Amino acid sequence: MSDTSFQVQAGGQLCGSLRVPGDKSISHRSIMLGALASGVTRVSGFLEGEDSLATLAAFRAMGVRIDGPDAGKVTVHGVGLHGLQAPDAPLYLGNSGTSMRLMSGLLAGQAFDCVLTGDASLSGRPMRRVVTPLGSMGARIDSTAQGTAPLHIHGGAMLHGIDYDMPVASAQVKSSLLLAGLYARGTTCVTEPAPTRDHTERMLAGMGYPLQRDGARVCLDGGHGLSAIEIDIPADISSAAFFLVGASIAPGSNLQLQHVGMNPTRTGVIEILRRMGADIEVGNERDAGGEPVADLRVRYAPLHGIAIPAALVPLAIDEFPVIFVAAACAEGRTVLTGAEELRVKESDRIQVMADGLKRLGVQAQATPDGMIIDGGTLGSGCVDSHGDHRIAMSFAMAALRAQGAIDITDCANVNTSFPGFVALARSAGLSIQSAG
């Protein structure tokens, strides 16, 4: 994919105070729902990473005036639910699965045709999980024979509400169906088998759209409107997770992470690390635009292996690459099951992480739905991130406890979620260089 690589020297500690970039999930939704609202939505803390910028560019291509981003500030001039215009060309969404899946639902109810495309990685990710239930709502979406992008969405479809039991816990599928439900006749209900992030529901409610939540089930009726609001996006807990693990495994570390999003559907990584013995303090808890935020203080602590509870898996699904690094540095065995979803992320995160850990001398056994890791000593070596941003950053943090330098290849996609990662990590004490 790229010749960008990281070289990370062994050892060191993480200290000081820092704020990681804004939450990617909320950044996507601020553009999508701001565009569909009446009035002007002002956003601060917007993540200026390639994934969120792909969403922003797509809505500009559909006639929405968006000012910025400028130092995380974006102004979205909403066009209302029916104000989007047909784009002149296919909408290219880069590496962003969130953009493609959510926009499939949002665009299924428009009057115009459009095509969604992405890079090689995104074009290999499964899209039937949204295309099939959207089809049962009356959407007309064509994919490849393998159920992948490009997606051809035919306009003018008459959507109707459905009652959908999701076979796999996925916030992207849930959100896609709810966004289609805005345009559907009747009621759209989605029931999830385990809790997933609820940023879409929170933002819809914040913008005045009536929805009903009852446990694992959320319902809305089509035909209401959205009103513009101000959105203060918290720091992304998925990005903070790299520093939570880095400080936990590096002796002498004492690090504060500011204004981190603490949405209860996203805090699994904190719970898992605490069960492993991590020293993480939550302080200064407050509300930012309907989302809970807090400052986190993390200090070095000896970790031990655990069996990760199934209930926590959906609450930490994006953080497992770096949790695997914590497990590699822990005493004893860590076992993850019920996480087959990791095999269809930006890479097969189970296999790629197992391969990388083994290369560094750790006993890591990939299983169909997870991993068995026996903690030990991390050596040194070269690891291929397979173009997966979270894997590249996870192995960068592993160097804090390694015997020698770790070289990581194919790292350009770190810019999809964490622009400025190298500089911020270096400022906290990680000895990292980027080349290429």
Which residue ranges make up each domain of the chain? 5-22+234-435, 24-232
User: Which contacts of 215-220 are long-range, i.e. CB under 8 A and separated by 24 or more positions?
Assistant: 216/191, 216/192, 217/189, 217/190, 217/191, 217/192, 218/174, 218/178, 218/189, 218/190, 219/187, 219/188, 219/189, 219/190, 220/178, 220/181, 220/182, 220/187, 220/188
Is 5-22+234-435's fold the same as 24-232's? yes
Token pair in block for residue 258: 């500011």
C-beta separation of 275 from 316 below 8 A? no
Which residues, other chains included, contact 344 with Cβ-Cβ below 8 Å and sequence gap of 6+?
A: 125, 126
C-beta separation of 393 from 428 below 8 A? no
Tell me, what's the pLDDT at 289?
A: 75
C-beta separation of 269 from 323 below 8 A? yes
Phi/psi-derived region of residue 411, left when phi > 0, alpha when psi is between -120 and 50, beta in every other case: alpha
Condensed to tens digits (0 to 9), the pLDDT of residues 344-402 reads: 888 899 999 999 999 999 999 999 999 999 999 999 999 999 999 999 999 999 999 99
Tell me, what's the pLDDT at 1?
A: 42
CA distance 154 to 62: 15
Condensed to tens digits (0 to 9), the pLDDT of residues 182-210 reads: 999 999 999 999 999 999 999 999 999 99
CA distance 376 to 403: 11
Burial level of 47, CB count in 10 A (0-12/13-18/19+)?
A: buried
SS3 133: helix
CA distance 317 to 38: 34
SS3 333: strand
Cα distances from 393 to residues 7, 14, 108, 268, in angstroms, run 11, 15, 35, 19
Peptide bond into 69 cis (omega under 30): yes
Under CATH, which number does the domain 5-22+234-435 receive? 3.65.10.10
> What is the identity of the amino acid at 389?
H
Over 375-403, what HEC string results?
Answer: CCCECCEEEECCCCHHHHHHHHHHHHHEC
C-beta separation of 299 from 247 below 8 A? yes
State the pairing for strand pair 333-336/73-77: unpaired
CA distance 334 to 25: 28
C-beta separation of 186 from 222 below 8 A? yes
CA distance 317 to 151: 25
Instruction: Specify whether 318 is catalytic.
Output: yes
CA distance 108 to 138: 9
SS3 206: helix
Under CATH, which number does the domain 24-232 receive? 3.65.10.10
Which residues, other chains included, contact 31 with Cβ-Cβ below 8 Å and sequence gap of 6+?
A: 43, 52, 55, 56, 59, 66, 74, 76
pLDDT less than 70: residues of the chain: 1-2
SS3 113: coil
User: Which letter, b or e, does each residue of 58-88 get, where b requires 16 or more Cβ atoms within 10 Å of its Cβ?
Assistant: bbebbebebebbeebebbbbbbebeebeebe
> What is the identity of the amino acid at 272?
I
| Catalytic-role residue among 232, 318, 384, 410 | 318
